[in-house]
A and B are shown apart, each in its own frame.
Chain A
Amino acid sequence: MLWLQYIIDSIGTGALYSLMTLGLALVFSVMGLMNFAYGQLVMIGGFSMILLRSQPWWVLILGTILAVVVVSLLMERLAFRPVRMATAMTMLITSFALAQFLQQSARVAFGANPRPLEQFSGLSEQIEFAGLRISRLSMLTVVVTIVVLISLAVLLRRTTIGMKLRASTEDVTMAALVGIKSNRVIASAFVISGVIAAIVAMLFFSSRTNVSWSSGESIVLIAFVGAVIGGLGSMVGAALGGFLMGFVYTMLNALLPTDLRVFADAFLYTIVIIVLLVRPAGLVAAKGVRV
């Protein structure tokens, strides 16, 4: 029974990490950019929650999504579009610079100390079922992740913009030759990535008591590693890779002997290294990825 409890706890974290990874992987697969400023979008979402905390819940949700999407679009327009034709290294360094800029701006605006975020009382409640405890937040996270995954699949598979996104992902020159406007396609990828980052922010910070200017750092690292082990360029791989990161990490924290628990990260990344040794292209290898 204890095992089942661990698994349930781990699924919640896995779902959250899976979302984080998707937002990062989507932009990568469309324009070959590993956007290390992505974690800062989640951080901005957190501060938006603090600012909107006293508003009705739907204002908080829509306002946070709007704020993050606007920043995501500005990122694309002001920082990444000018260097789109440059090398992958230039784009990568641009994203590091942007991440620093956003972090330091948040530090100036909100202070160096973490800002408290009042908890949402309803979400932290635990539901007991057949001897198992499940927090409402964990259930919500799983449900939201499933909804986002399905929506993203429908968007990519069933809509014209999804078709254009996939075409651009595979062959950007050919996409231009059939008249697909790459600016529009890339901007829409940043919009989707922004929506996902905002959702991640709301789920992530609902289980925290504060938001800090440095909150985004660990998030982008998890998303990056999740995308790499899942297989760069593959959405299914990203969802799977992110899920496994969260799942394994939480399981390690539960199962490792108390003395070793502080080394959970080391164990996790050892597993990551082993996965990459066995499958260097990731669990779900995508064809024709530009790196």
Chain B
Amino acid sequence: MSLLEISGLRIAYGQAVAVKDLNMRVEQGEFVSLIGHNGVGKSSTVKAITGLVKPSAGSISYDGASIGGKDPGDILRLGIAQVPEGRRIFTRLTVRENLIVGATVRSSRAETAASVEEMNQRFPVLGKYANRMAGLLSGGEQQQLAIARALMAKPKLLVLDEPSLGLAPQIVDQVFSLLKELREGGTTILLVEQNAAQAIRACDRYYVMRTQGAIAVEAPGGDQADVTKIEAEYLHFGKV
């Protein structure tokens, strides 16, 4: 049984169909990348998984239970955390408060404090600027905060929507090595990206999505994957 299994998923906003009939899965402990152009339905898929949009048909099951249409808070409680597109940190809360709010679904105060400590160890910059307004951090620092905030809920599955968007290349490298590290630590990862080359090399398995959530390719990732071919065939502009 896969940790996350999506079958026959359809997402529509009124008349507009974003995803028509999506089938995909993520195994326990796996790092899966979902790549594709803007507007093919990647973000809608993420939103359906984390409860921000309700599927119009099909099923999403997590750990054997159906989660399609549940509330975001309940889905998070089950163990799926999202790092949203554009980071969306709370700019008028301090760095530390952002982390604490990330642990809302966990009850104990002591546990939360321990996790804040843990994040400060892992991301030294967050400890350094703990009492600073989060809006004052740089883009790369904000991305670290967004990931750390999601980790505060101790998720089993981490879903990231375009974490490399708008970041400098070195920072992007940092984000990817962090994701690999998290996977080594046992966190299952679903990464949604336009940055195909790095997303493919970093993952165990990837999907290429084309219009309305149609899966064009499903293949193993890693350093051996033929990134150039995938890019040339599916991702170059004008060829969609």
Contacts and interface: CB of A to CB of B under 8 A. Distances in A.
Interface string B94-135: 000100111011000000000000000000000000000000
Interface of A: 160, 163-164, 166-167, 169-171, 173-181, 287-288
Contacts of B100: 160, 163
B90 A176 contact: no
B73 A174 contact: no
A166 B88 CA distance: 14
Q: Taking each of A169, A174, A180, which has the highest tally of chain B beta carbons within 10 Å of its own beta carbon?
A: A174
B72 interface: yes
Nearest to A160: B100
A231 to B, nearest CB: 14
> DSSP majority for the A interface?
helix
Nearest to B87: A174
B104 A178 contact: yes
Given A179-B153, A180-B73, A180-B101, A173 B52 contact: yes
Contact of B101 (A163, A169, A173, A287): A163
Interface stretch (B76-84, B167-175, B231-239): B76-84
B93 A176 contact: no
A173 B91 CA distance: 14
A175 B82 CA distance: 12
Given A164-B101, A178-B104, A171 B73 contact: no
A259 B145 CA distance: 62
Of A171, A176, A178, chain B has the most CB atoms within 10 Å of the CB of A178
B50 interface: yes
Interface residues of B, number: 22
Interface in B36-90: 50, 52, 71-73, 76-77, 82, 84, 88, 90
A64 to B, nearest CB: 33
B149 interface: yes
A10 B6 CA distance: 65
A288 B102 CA distance: 21
Contact of B73 (A170, A181, A288): A181
Interface of B: 50, 52, 71-73, 76-77, 82, 84, 88, 90-93, 97, 100-102, 104-105, 149, 153
A-B pairs, top 8 by smallest CB distance, nearest first, are A179-B105, A179-B73, A179-B104, A174-B88, A176-B72, A179-B76, A167-B90, A177-B72
24 contacts: A163-B97, A166-B90, A166-B92, A167-B93, A167-B97, A167-B101, A169-B92, A170-B90, A170-B92, A170-B93, A174-B84, A174-B88, A175-B101, A176-B71, A176-B73, A177-B82, A178-B149, A178-B153, A179-B72, A179-B76, A179-B77, A180-B104, A181-B73, A287-B92
B76 A177 contact: yes
A176 B73 CA distance: 6
Contacts of A177: 50, 52, 72, 76, 82, 84
Contacts of B50: 177
Nearest to B83: A177
Contacts of B92: 166, 169-170, 287
Nearest to A180: B104
A173 B161 CA distance: 15
A174 B134 CA distance: 15
Contacts of B91: 170, 287-288
B101 A171 contact: no
Given A164-B101, A166-B90, A176-B52, 18 more contacts: A160-B100, A163-B93, A163-B97, A163-B100, A166-B97, A169-B92, A171-B88, A171-B90, A174-B88, A177-B76, A178-B101, A178-B153, A179-B73, A179-B105, A179-B153, A180-B73, A181-B73, A288-B91
A230 B104 CA distance: 32
Contacts of A174: 84, 88, 90
For B72, B101, B149, the residue with the greatest tally of chain A CB atoms inside 10 Å of its CB is B101
